[in-house]
Structure 1
């Protein structure tokens, strides 16, 4: 897939079809983008599982924080990645190793690795990169 531009229907379909999200790199700091995006997603009715090994067992926005993707207690539809682009490949590997793979891996703004995306897509996982759901949601009128 060409990740330079996405059809609105592709992004809209993902956001409408998603119920559960693992947010990698979640921060308890309300000034951090990951915290604000998590709050936005929760406000739109998504069930969000924060993932951050430095915050394991604590709470972010009332949700228990998990150390890694495999620790999230139920399958997730989407993995939202707030990590540097160089970590996207290892996130894809972790997602592929899950018993129930997510439907989507979403790299936040500036998070792009085309080789990692190709690996995810080869495993049947859709990919969005260098986008933010908190921007796309209102832009698409959802």
Structure 2
């Protein structure tokens, strides 16, 4: 059966329940899409936890080398990595001390194996969608 993203209503519910987003591949360069999207989400009140092994801090938050280094609860793992790199990210999400509720692959990123791993562990999966766009449409006044 082909993958299908949750309904818009369900995505809205998930975003309404979200406080903390771990962003894998969050660049510390302001001209990168990952930085701009995360900065906008942070401005809307979401806590952003950067996952970038090459940066100490991004957007004023401590950066982690891996998802498995994060010890606090994360609602969404938002991924800015190549599609072929997302299986290892999904495995890291499953190995977190507290599993996230959502595994979100950004616009242009999809991997059925990564989705199956996350979904098999009870984590909701969203692929090939921009979290900032979805949030702006579904929760314009959060």
Identify the residue that residue 41 of structure 1 maps to in structure 2.
41
Q: Could you tell me how far apart the structure 1 residues matched to 2:42 and 2:79 are?
A: 16
Query: What TM-score do you get using the length of structure 2 for normalisation?
Result: 0.92
CA contact (8 A) 1:3 1:128 kept: no
Aligned length, in residue pairs: 140
Residue of 122, 125, 128 corresponding to 1:127: 125
Identify the residue that residue 20 of structure 1 maps to in structure 2.
20
Identify the residue that residue 104 of structure 1 maps to in structure 2.
102
CA contact (8 A) 2:110 2:128 kept: yes
Query: What TM-score do you get using the length of structure 1 for normalisation?
Result: 0.92
Q: Could you tell me how far apart the structure 2 residues matched to 1:141 and 1:75 are?
A: 22
Is 1:10 the counterpart of 2:10? The answer is yes
Identify the residue that residue 77 of structure 2 maps to in structure 1.
79
Q: Could you tell me how far apart the structure 2 residues matched to 1:117 and 1:95 are?
A: 11
Residue of 79, 86, 89 corresponding to 2:87: 89
Q: Could you tell me how far apart the structure 2 residues matched to 1:15 and 1:2 are?
A: 24
RMSD: 1.5
Displaced runs of 4+ in structure 1, greater than 2 A? 1-6
| Residue segments in structure 2 that go unaligned for 5+ positions in a row | none
Q: Could you tell me how far apart the structure 2 residues matched to 1:139 and 1:2 are?
A: 26
SS in structure 2 of the partner of residue 50 of structure 1: strand
- The answer to which of 65-74 and 26-35 deviates more is 65-74
SS in structure 1 of the partner of residue 54 of structure 2: helix
